[in-house]
């Protein structure tokens, strides 16, 4: 990824924002199919990190030198063993921290989320990204800009009433620990207090494309499609319709 002054071309980034249950993930899947973007959901990346930390921890431990310990500890000096266990402790502590914050509907510190996003961007091999559910607060926004020097092309904002979002989350059935009424209420509060100001910030820069997300999925996508269709393509389609 580029930094300021790099001659390499910066990737195109569209931030996809909206309240919990507004349909960000659903519409991103449609956009990927039609417009060749890579979809990166900050929440999905954090959940994957928890999963890989708790289920597949060995991989990470091995990176920290578990093969040495597995070999029976032969030749391990105490300071090596100590730093090894401190390393494991840090990873487990981080995983627990992410898990607890998600359960409480809180926003995980940017260093964690941005690292995951940057890695996913590099691994994708693509140069067009839908970043879903990020930035969720001012700290996310400022840190992403400072670290990556990337400005979003625009911000797709799904506007949906709270009652509808609540209905959708309660019937989402993805087994998420935060899809319960108690955490949902906390997430709505965080959305209003911390995430909406980010949308307002980009709105003041003329970057927000607001979509009525309360409509059925297909109707929402018609509006989304028009936003992503390049202007010259729209003129072509209009001409074809007339002729």
Ligand X SMILES: Nc1ncnc2c1ncn2[C@@H]1O[C@H](COP(=O)(O)OP(=O)(O)O)[C@@H](O)[C@H]1O
Ligand Y SMILES: Nc1ccn([C@@H]2O[C@H](COP(=O)(O)OP(=O)(O)O)[C@@H](O)[C@H]2O)c(=O)n1
Q: Judged by CB, which is closer to ligand Y: 61, or 188? A: 188
| Total of chain residues touching ligand Y, rule CB under 6 A | 21
| Total of chain residues touching ligand X, rule CB under 6 A | 13
Listed ranges 2-10, 19-27, 108-116, 200-208: which one lies at the site for ligand X (CB under 6 A)? 19-27
Q: Judged by CB, which is closer to Mg ion: 25, or 152? A: 25
Q: Is 167 annotated as a binding residue?
A: no
Q: Please, what is the minimum distance in Å from the beta carbon of residue 180 to ligand Y?
A: 12
Q: Which of 14, 15, 17, 18 binds ligand X (CB under 6 A)?
A: 18
Q: How many CA atoms lie within 13 A of 72 on its CB side?
A: 1
Q: Judged by CB, which is closer to ligand Y: 117, or 208? A: 117
Q: Is 239 annotated as a binding residue?
A: no
Q: Which does 113 bind (CB under 5 to 8 A by kind): ligand Y, Mg ion, ligand X, none?
A: ligand Y
Residue 220, interface with ligand X (CB under 6 A)?
yes
Residue 25, interface with Mg ion (CB under 5 A)?
yes
Q: Judged by CB, which is closer to ligand X: 26, or 229? A: 26
- Please report, as ranges, the residues that interact with Mg ion according to CB under 5 A: 24-25
């Amino acid at each position: 990824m580029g930094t300021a002054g790099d001659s390499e071309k910066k990737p195109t980034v569209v931030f996809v924002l909206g309240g919990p249950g507004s349909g960000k993930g659903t519409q991103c899947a449609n956009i990927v199919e039609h417009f060749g973007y890579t979809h990166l959901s900050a929440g999905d990346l954090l959940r994957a990190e928890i999963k890989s930390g708790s289920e597949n921890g060995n991989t990470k431990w091995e990176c920290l030198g578990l093969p040495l310990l597995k070999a029976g500890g032969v030749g391990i000096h105490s300071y090596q063993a100590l730093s090894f266990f401190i390393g494991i402790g840090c990873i487990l502590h981080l995983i627990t921290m992410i898990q607890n914050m998600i359960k409480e509907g809180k926003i995980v510190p940017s260093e964690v989320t941005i690292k995951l996003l940057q890695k996913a961007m590099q691994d994708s091999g693509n140069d067009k990204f839908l970043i879903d559910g990020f930035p969720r607060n001012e700290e996310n926004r400022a840190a992403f800009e400072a670290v990556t020097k990337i400005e979003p092309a625009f911000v797709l904002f799904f506007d949906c009433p709270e009652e509808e979002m609540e209905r959708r989350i309660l019937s989402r059935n993805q087994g998420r620990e935060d899809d319960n009424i108690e955490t949902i209420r906390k997430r709505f509060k965080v959305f209003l207090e911390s995430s909406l100001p980010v949308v307002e910030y980009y709105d003041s820069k003329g970057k927000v494309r607001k979509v009525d997300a309360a409509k059925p999925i297909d109707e929402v996508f018609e509006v989304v499609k028009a936003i992503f269709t390049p202007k010259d393509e729209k003129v072509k389609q209009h001409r074809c319709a007339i002729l």
